[in-house]
Amino acid sequence: MPPKGGTLVTLQVHWECEIRQQLKASPRMQVFFDTMLDTSPIKVRECFFGDRTEAIRLYLKAKEDQTIKYLDFNSLYPYTNFITSYPVGHPRSIDFDDNSGKQTWTQPSHNPYTGLLKVLIEPPQRGR
C-alpha cells in the first residue's frame, strides 16, 4: 500500500552485464544513457571518499642492515581538515551560459569557483 498521497513504485534490479546487453540492443536506450546528466543536489558526505591504499611490496625478508618502514598517509586527513577552507551557508546552483554545460578546465586557474563542486569529468578519447 503506498503512503498517503504517494505512488507505489516497483524497483527492478539488473546486473551490469544485462544493462550492457540492453544498451547494445537498443540505440534509443544508448542515447538516453549518453545524454543523461546527474542533476541531483551534491551530497557533502560523498566528498570525503577516495583514500588510496596499496601494498608496494607484499613480502620482504629484511637483512640485518635493513629497516622495514610503514607510512600512514591517511593520518593526513585530520591535518587536511584543519588547513582546508570549507564553504558555509546555503548551497547555490551554478548554471553555465552555453547550452552544453561543458567547461574546459585544464589548469587550476581556469576554475573561478571555490567550495565543493559536483562535476562530471570526461576522460580523453583515444586517438585525439
> What pLDDT is stored for residue 11 in this prediction?
85
Which cell goes with 43? Answer: 551530497
> What pLDDT is stored for residue 9 in this prediction?
80
Question: Where does residue 127 fall: left (phi above 0), alpha (psi -120 to 50 degrees), or beta otherwise?
Answer: left
In contact, 96 and 103? CB cutoff 8 Å: yes
Which tens digit of pLDDT belongs to each residue from 62-101? Answer: 899 998 887 766 667 777 778 888 788 887 777 766 555 5
In contact, 104 and 110? CB cutoff 8 Å: yes
| Mean pLDDT confidence for 7-17 | 87
Which tens digit of pLDDT belongs to each residue from 44-72? Answer: 777 766 666 666 778 888 899 998 887 76
Question: Where does residue 119 fall: left (phi above 0), alpha (psi -120 to 50 degrees), or beta otherwise?
Answer: beta
> What pLDDT is stored for residue 29 in this prediction?
93
More confident of the two residues 113 and 121? 113
Which cell goes with 52? Answer: 588510496
> What pLDDT is stored for residue 73 in this prediction?
64
- The band of 2, judged by pLDDT with boundaries at 50, 70 and 90, is low
More confident of the two residues 32 and 6? 32
